[in-house]
Amino acid sequence: MIQIVGANAAHAGVLAALHSRCFEKPWNKKAFTDLLNVPGMIALIVQKNDTPAGFILAQSVDGEAEIITIGVSPEFQRMGFASGLINAILEASPELTKLFIEVDESNENARSFYTQVGFFPNGRRKNYYHHDDGTKSDALMMVLAPPARA
């Protein structure tokens, strides 16, 4: 059974554990606790059979939101969970006119995924990402304009 549930500061440990499965430089429990206390923060966790599989955090301000972080544990990838989380953010916030995300330009899989779900390039931040090997890459800023709702 797939379920998407709201998250709050009590879920910071679960979010930190998920983040560590998804990213090379994971955020800790305190980072999530701090983020979850920011006004306008929306946090969701997707579960499969009561097992946390992925998450999304987005900050909403004046009808626009930015995805702060999103991830799906490797064993649950390519099952539609990430697109389900994005859709759940849009459903939870019908006032949104734009949803933004920044993605490492060198991450072809992420760029392809965001393009497939309807995001398009909207700018760039030069040398934003600093990699362990000393190289840098640009952040590609992308935006999704959800269809108007009746």
pLDDT at 25: 87
The whole-number pLDDT of residue 146 equals 81
User: In percent, how much of the chain has pLDDT > 70?
Assistant: 98
Q: Where are the domains of the chain?
A: 2-96, 104-150
CATH code for the domain defined by 2-96: 3.40.630.30
Distance CA 102, CA 109 (A): 14
User: Is 149 a residue whose pLDDT tops 70?
Assistant: no
DSSP for residue 99: E
40-66: average pLDDT: 95
Q: Which two structure tokens, joined as six digits, stand for 109? A: 């899989």
Query: Model-level pTM?
Result: 0.91
> Given a cut of 60, is residue 150 above it in pLDDT?
no
Tell me the backbone φ, ψ of residue 18, rounded to 5 degrees. Answer: -65, -45
Residue 147 is given by DSSP the state P
Cα separation, 57 vs 43, whole angstroms: 4
